[in-house]
Amino acid sequence: MSLYLIPIVYSILAGVMSTVLFYMSFTDEKHRGALYVFSLVFLIASWSGLEWSLWVMGYDMFSLILAPVIPLDFFFLVWIVFAVWYGESIGARKIWVCFLISLAVIFVIARLCMNCIG
Residue 65, pLDDT > 90, answer: no
pLDDT category, 1, cuts 50, 70, 90? low
118 inside domain = no
Q: What is the pLDDT of residue 118?
A: 46
Residue 9, pLDDT > 60, answer: yes
Question: Which residue from 56, 50, 59, 60 is spatially nearest to 10, judged by alpha carbons?
Answer: 50
Is the separation of the CB atoms in 94 and 35 below 8 Å? no
Q: What is the pLDDT of residue 46?
A: 93
pLDDT category, 114, cuts 50, 70, 90? low
Q: How far apart are CA 8 and CA 13, in angstroms?
A: 9
Total domains in the chain come to 1
- Segment 33-47, tens digit of pLDDT: 999 999 999 999 999
